[in-house]
């Protein structure tokens, strides 16, 4: 039995191993160590808001930097350090905070290589938490990866399990383009097999999480886990679901999605983001353009509603696409026919 | 004249060459733009040359500068190839950025030019990163962020003052205070007369100098850069100067009395005062400067001719230098 | 493929034995029951194939773990069944049906699944000659086993390749050890040259580190060539050689497979290559491909495989033809080859020394120990019983 590790510790191990391997890797962010300047005199009191960076400060005191709550300055500093030859990992505690530093990401980091005629690389990784489910309300629960995937030059990575989290993060650190690495806060405790050695998972290579023949589900991040639960229910009903996890939505492994839809003829896309101009709508449009011939039923999207994330548990539970909603959408496409009214 | 004594003959000649090259470059662009040969937005640096030249006099190729939308001067002062710059501004394949950047995004990392920047206030955080890299590596390099008085109101700048101060980063923030954020006067857009005063609140030195005086800028910058290099942290250096042209080429400048410019050109032209000072002190012969002027004029002429003759980028370049095509 | 269950259950009435969902490999926690191959009431011998089971990794056949009559078929096609759960009852043909039924019901009612596949032996690591080697040890009772068998996987494989063989070959008097060769699995990836001598030397050092004075080697493909080389360089250490589709008996090899395997980065590239390993490409499941990809993604694996490939299979040929070595190594030799091998030509079996026992499996591909496990296990067991 291979070693099991939580999603959180898989991410932690990736950073530990890359810091040991490459001296140009630095880590910066708010309270990634925590405690500096406090009366306890403990310079590693937290190890990150949820502990993802634990142990790094003690081991690499000069390469791990707590920052003031000053996202523009430190995200920008990470970008500048990358331009100057470092491999910074900046932690944007919640992706909801992109609003106070987005310029440094989308106008600076994302554009250097192209705008400077290919004469610059910007190997920065921005790790950030996303997603609903922790009763954190509207400004700490959003799923904002579509906003980043829209920007050419950024790579957008959304691991769904501990194995992928470690391999994709190491790939991200070694990659020469700016990367936004999305970690769903409800996945941190998920355990899975994770090799102890360092390894990389290439970007733009979808994972077929489960093979099936009736319906293709395309999902990322936490929605992969929700879809797996739905697929079990559906299997008991005799519906065979294939789940494709693109792992990175930019670049996107379109071919694997098309191949799967060509095998199943039906597509359900599950996305925790809002429905307009989203990952789900993008995949739907791509399949409609490039694999229309294979469809035997309309494409369905299961997404969050077009509303902010609510606070009350009763409402938040309705906000997140549930296995029940996913299963219902799959049953819907099993019964639907192309050309029929919805 | 302690300053002049401290600057070597070579630094003086380089300073003059830089300022004259910038002036010729910008004056020529002003004409070429009127000829409708140049696409897009161009913001000219003429009048502010002493700032770029004075600061960069103490920088090596391994040091970094971040620049602004008004970036030609910084690029030239930091050592970017003038012909490559001209071709870039003309949008040609032979440009420094293969025609993909243009006037507002000229960069050359090989000489430490981190890029002109279309976002007002975009540079200071980047320079904090340059300083951080220097500090982690312990390689003694310094980063300089050029910004205007307009940008000095941006959160990015104020955040960068704090971050660089708490981390004691080897950086210098150079505010080129030309009195206008685009079309809005500093007296309106800023609560202090001297931007340098803002350093007080962040616990770093703030110095105000005459930005039209190469010697004043060079002296203050040399000290700030040495301070940074020696590990004593950041400095805010405010250089008061005058923009000879509008915010952008095509700006009718109805927001200012143009006597401001006439007066500045007549009495506060950095090239004029530099020449007077070095020739009067017998440091450089006027003939040497004249010869340099002619040489630079020739260089700019050639730059324009070559840029106009150069091809536009091939269509295939649309989706190269970015990781993905779509 | 043994179905010896770990979970304890109610005591068996005289003569009755349960058949359980087997555990194939380290990570199997459950299997999907495809169907029975024999009817109730059929007399079965030890090792006879009784049913087909599919896992997320590979499909296989459940073998009889006792001789007798298949009295009850408890598992139904389509069911997903945890490892160790009862799937049938074997016993004397004249057993009282009421007793059988009652015991079967009791077995099913009392079964408690193990901890998510955590049961069973665990891999270990040791350092030999400064190199970390991972291995899995099964059987051997108290550790003073009469016989030690070491399984050497092929190019790009790992100890998991023996999932259908290791446990069935083991017993209280025979310990069976599978290891990850250098550059593979979770063993060290650093290689000096990657040639046969280095790999054989590492296996020798491994045996020394474990204090094993004499071992029987079973080698597949590249592992076969490693075994031959070690038998020659360390006479006395190696007691016998069982070679499955081995490298080293001729110059030909599917160079496209070797180069393609090293270069493959995606499921799409790798799957068609892995299908060449088997006569039946259906064996190559998504999980099998994923497992190989996971191994290949580990830092240093590509470099290691490149080095081994360059040293042993340069330019689409085998660099080492070891027929003379094999003839000179004074140990018993078994050669097993599938007639449908697409990687190394089965004709190479003809180069085995005269004293060797050569067994040809009609229709089997390059990996008969996986796709024809029961046949290979029977051949190995018989061979090891005589040496």
- How far is Cα C301 from Cα A200, in angstroms, rounded to an integer? 11
DSSP state, A106?
A: I
C123-386: CATH number: 3.40.50.1820
CA–CA gap between residue A304 and residue A321 (Å, rounded): 6
pLDDT tens for chain B, residues 1 to 326: 344 557 899 999 999 999 999 999 999 999 999 888 899 999 999 999 999 999 999 999 999 999 999 999 999 999 999 999 999 999 999 999 999 999 999 999 999 999 999 999 999 999 999 999 999 999 999 999 999 999 999 999 999 999 999 999 999 999 999 999 999 999 999 999 999 999 999 999 999 999 999 999 999 999 999 999 999 999 999 999 999 999 999 999 999 999 999 999 999 999 999 999 999 999 999 999 999 999 999 999 999 999 999 999 999 999 899 976 54
Residue A306 is a catalytic residue: no
Contact flag A199-C299 (C-beta cutoff 8 Å): yes
CATH number of A207-335: 3.40.50.920
What is the model's pLDDT at position A132?
A: 96
What sign does the dihedral C187-C193-C199-C205 (CA atoms) show? negative
pLDDT at C114 over 70: no
* Domain formed by B2-310, architecture: 3-Layer(aba) Sandwich (3.40)
Q: Are A44 and B70 in contact (CB under 8 A)?
A: no
Separation in Å, CA of A3 to nearest CA in chain B:
34
Mean pLDDT rounded to a whole number for chain B: 95
Mean pLDDT of C173-180: 95
C106 or B67, which is more confident?
Answer: B67
According to CATH, the topology of domain C17-110 is OB fold (Dihydrolipoamide Acetyltransferase, E2P) (2.40.50)
Reported confidence tier of residue C13, pLDDT bands at 50, 70, 90: confident
> Nearest to residue A70, comparing CAs of B122, B150, B158?
B158
pLDDT tier at A338 (50, 70, 90 boundaries)? Answer: low
Residues from chain C contacting residue A202 (CB–CB below 8 Å)? 265-266
CB within 8 A of B69, min separation 6: which ones?
Answer: B41, B43, B104, B116, B117, B118, B120
pLDDT in tens, A18-41: 999 999 999 999 999 998 888 888
Whole-Å CA distances, A251 to A180, A203, A204, B318: 12, 7, 5, 18
Q: How far is CA C307 from CA A289, C134, C183, C301, in A?
A: 44, 20, 9, 10
* Closest chain C C-alpha to A111 CA, distance in angstroms: 28
Q: What is the ipTM of this complex?
A: 0.91
> Strand B206-210 relative to strand B235-240: parallel, antiparallel, unpaired?
parallel
The confidence band for A245, taking pLDDT boundaries of 50, 70 and 90, is: very high
Give C118's pLDDT tier (boundaries 50, 70, 90): low
Any chains having at least 3 CB pairs less than 8 A from chain B are A
Contact yes or no for A132/A319 (Cβ under 8 A): yes
Q: Please report, for chain C, the start and end positions of each structural domain, with discontinuous segments joined by +.
A: 17-110, 123-386
Which chains, if any, share at least 3 CB pairs under 8 A with chain A? B, C
**pLDDT at site C2:** 43
Q: Which of A164, A197, A259 should one mutate to test binding to chain C, selecting the residue with the greatest count of C CBs within 10 A?
A: A197
Hey, is the C-beta of A23 within 8 angstroms of any chain C C-beta? no
Confidence at residue B1, expressed as pLDDT on a 0 to 100 scale = 38
Q: Which residue reads 């998991």 in tokens?
A: C160
pLDDT in tens, A136-195: 999 999 999 999 999 999 999 999 999 999 999 999 999 999 999 999 999 999 999 999
B159 contacts A73? CB cut-off 8 A: yes
- Contact criterion met (CB < 8 Å) for A152 and B326: yes
pLDDT at C3: 41
Nearest CA in chain A to C118: A1
A4-193 belongs to CATH 3.40.50.970: yes
Where do the CATH 3.40.50.970 domains begin and end in chain A?
4-193
Cis peptide before A251 (omega within 30 of 0): yes
Bigger pLDDT: C103 vs B235: B235
Domain with CATH 3.40.50.920 in chain A: 207-335
- Cβ distance B129 to A112 less than 8 Å, yes or no, reads no
Question: What pLDDT band is residue C26 in, cutting at 50, 70 and 90?
Answer: low
Instruction: Report the gap between the CA of A115 and the closest CA in chain B (Å).
Output: 4
Smallest Cα–Cα separation from B240: which of B194, B206, B189, B197? B194
Asked if the Cβ–Cβ distance from B126 to A77 is below 8 Å, we say yes
Nearest beta carbon to residue A167 from set C122, C286, C297: C297
Pairing between β-strand A155-157 and β-strand A248-250 as defined by DSSP bridges: antiparallel
Give pLDDT, residue C54. Answer: 85
Distance CA A8, CA A189 (A): 7
Best residue in B67, B85, B125 to probe A by mutation, most A CBs within 10 Å?
B125
Q: How far is CA A260 from the centre of its chain?
A: 22
Tens digit of each residue's pLDDT (9 = 90 or more) over B25-53:
999 999 999 888 899 999 999 999 999 99
DSSP strand E in C153-264: where?
Answer: 174-179, 215-220, 238-244
CB contact under 8 A, C299 and A198: yes
């Amino acid at each position: 039995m291979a070693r099991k590790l939580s999603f959180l510790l898989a991410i932690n191990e990736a950073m530990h191993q890359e810091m040991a391997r490459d001296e140009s890797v630095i880590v910066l962010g708010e309270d990634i160590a925590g405690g500096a300047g406090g009366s306890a005199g403990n310079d590693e009191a937290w190890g990150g808001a949820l502990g993802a960076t634990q142990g790094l400060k003690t081991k690499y005191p000069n390469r791990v930097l707590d920052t003031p709550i000053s996202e523009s300055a430190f995200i920008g500093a990470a970008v500048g350090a990358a331009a100057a030859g470092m491999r910074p990992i900046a932690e944007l505690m919640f992706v909801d905070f992109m609003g106070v530093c987005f310029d440094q990401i989308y106008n600076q980091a994302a554009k250097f290589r192209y705008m400077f005629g290919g004469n610059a690389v910007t190997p920065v990784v921005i790790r950030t938490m996303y997603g609903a489910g922790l009763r954190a309300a509207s400004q700490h629960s959003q799923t904002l990866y579509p906003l980043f995937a829209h920007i050419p030059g950024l790579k957008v990575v959304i691991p769904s399990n501990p194995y992928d989290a470690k391999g994709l993060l190491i790939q991200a650190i070694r990659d020469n383009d700016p990367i936004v690495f999305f970690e769903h806060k409800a996945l941190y405790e998920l355990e899975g097999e994770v090799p102890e050695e360092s390894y990389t998972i290439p970007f733009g290579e979808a994972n077929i999480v489960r093979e099936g023949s009736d319906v293709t589900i395309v999902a990322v991040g936490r929605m992969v886990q929700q879809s797996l639960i739905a697929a079990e229910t559906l299997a008991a009903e005799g519906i065979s679901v294939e789940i494709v996890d693109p792992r990175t939505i930019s670049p996107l492994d379109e071919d694997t999605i098309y191949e799967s839809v060509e095998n199943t003829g039906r597509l359900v896309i599950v996305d925790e983001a809002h429905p307009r101009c989203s990952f789900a709508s993008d995949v739907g449009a791509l399949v409609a353009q490039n694999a229309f011939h294979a469809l035997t039923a309309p494409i369905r999207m299961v997404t969050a509603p077009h509303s902010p994330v609510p606070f009350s548990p009763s409402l938040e539970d309705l906000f997140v696409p549930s296995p029940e909603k996913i299963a219902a959408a799959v049953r819907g496409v099993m019964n639907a026919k192309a050309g029929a009214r919805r | 004249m302690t300053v002049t004594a401290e600057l070597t003959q070579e630094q003086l000649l380089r300073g003059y060459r830089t300022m004259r090259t910038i002036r010729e470059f910008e004056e020529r662009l002003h004409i070429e733009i009127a000829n409708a040969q140049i696409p897009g937005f161009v913001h000219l640096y003429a009048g502010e040359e002493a700032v770029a030249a004075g600061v960069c006099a103490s920088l090596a190729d391994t040091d970094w500068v971040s620049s602004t939308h008004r970036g030609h001067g910084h690029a030239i002062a930091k050592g970017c190839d003038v012909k490559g710059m001209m071709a870039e501004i003309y949008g040609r394949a032979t440009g420094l950025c293969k025609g993909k950047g243009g006037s507002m995004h000229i960069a050359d990392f090989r000489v430490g030019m981190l890029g002109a920047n279309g976002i007002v206030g975009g540079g200071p955080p980047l320079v904090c990163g340059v300083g951080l890299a220097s500090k982690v590596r312990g390689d003694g390099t310094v980063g300089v962020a050029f910004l205007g008085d307009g940008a000095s109101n941006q959160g990015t700048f104020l955040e960068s003052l704090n971050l660089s101060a708490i981390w004691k980063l080897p950086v210098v923030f150079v505010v080129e205070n030309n009195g206008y954020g685009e079309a809005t006067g500093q007296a309106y857009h800023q609560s202090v007369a001297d931007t340098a005063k803002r350093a007080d609140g962040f616990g770093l030195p703030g110095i105000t100098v005459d930005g039209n005086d190469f010697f004043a800028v060079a002296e203050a910058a040399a000290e700030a850069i040495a301070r940074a290099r020696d590990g004593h942290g950041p400095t805010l250096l405010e250089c008061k100067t005058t923009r000879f042209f509008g915010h952008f080429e095509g700006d009718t400048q109805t927001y200012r009395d143009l006597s401001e410019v006439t007066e500045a050109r007549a009495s506060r032209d950095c090239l004029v005062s530099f020449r007077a000072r070095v020739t009067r002190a017998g440091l450089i012969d006027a003939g040497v400067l004249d010869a340099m002027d002619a040489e630079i004029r020739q260089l700019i002429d050639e730059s324009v001719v070559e840029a106009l003759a150069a091809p536009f980028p091939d269509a295939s370049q649309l989706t190269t230098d970015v990781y993905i095509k779509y | 493929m043994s179905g010896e269950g770990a979970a304890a259950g109610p005591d068996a009435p005289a003569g009755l034995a349960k058949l359980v969902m087997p555990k194939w490999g380290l990570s199997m926690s459950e299997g999907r029951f495809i169907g029975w191959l024999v009817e109730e009431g059929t007399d079965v011998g030890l090792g006879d194939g009784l049913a087909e089971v599919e896992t997320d990794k590979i499909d296989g056949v459940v073998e009889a773990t006792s001789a007798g009559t298949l009295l009850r078929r408890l598992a139904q096609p389509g069911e997903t069944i945890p490892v160790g759960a009862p799937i049938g009852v074997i016993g004397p043909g004249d057993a009282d049906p009421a007793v059988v039924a009652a015991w079967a019901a009791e077995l099913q009612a009392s079964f408690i699944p193990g901890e998510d596949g955590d049961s069973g032996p665990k891999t270990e690591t040791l350092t030999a000659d400064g190199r970390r080697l991972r291995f899995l040890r099964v059987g051997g009772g108290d550790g003073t086993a009469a016989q030690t068998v070491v399984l050497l996987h092929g190019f790009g494989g790992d100890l998991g390749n023996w999932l259908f063989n290791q446990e069935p070959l083991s017993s209280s008097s025979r310990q069976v050890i599978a290891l990850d060769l250098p550059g593979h699995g979770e063993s060290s990836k650093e290689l000096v040259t990657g040639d046969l001598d280095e790999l054989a030397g590492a296996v020798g050092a491994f045996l020394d580190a474990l204090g094993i004075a004499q071992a029987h080697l079973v080698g597949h493909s590249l592992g076969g060539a490693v075994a031959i080389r070690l038998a020659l360089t360390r006479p006395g250490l190696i007691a016998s050689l069982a070679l499955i589709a081995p490298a080293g008996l001729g110059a030909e090899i599917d160079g496209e497979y070797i180069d393609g395997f090293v270069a493959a980065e995606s499921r799409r590239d790798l799957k068609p290559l892995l299908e060449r390993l088997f006569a039946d490409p259906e064996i190559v499941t998504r999980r099998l491909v994923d497992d190989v990809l996971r191994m290949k993604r580990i830092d240093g694996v590509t470099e290691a495989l490149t080095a081994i490939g360059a040293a042993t299979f340069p330019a689409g040929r085998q660099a080492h033809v070891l027929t003379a070595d094999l003839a000179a190594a004074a140990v018993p030799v078994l050669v097993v080859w599938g007639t449908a091998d697409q990687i190394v030509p089965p004709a190479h079996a003809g180069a085995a020394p005269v004293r060797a026992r050569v067994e040809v499996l009609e229709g089997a591909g390059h990996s008969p120990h996986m796709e024809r496990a029961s046949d290979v296990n029977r051949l190995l067991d018989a061979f090891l019983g005589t040496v």
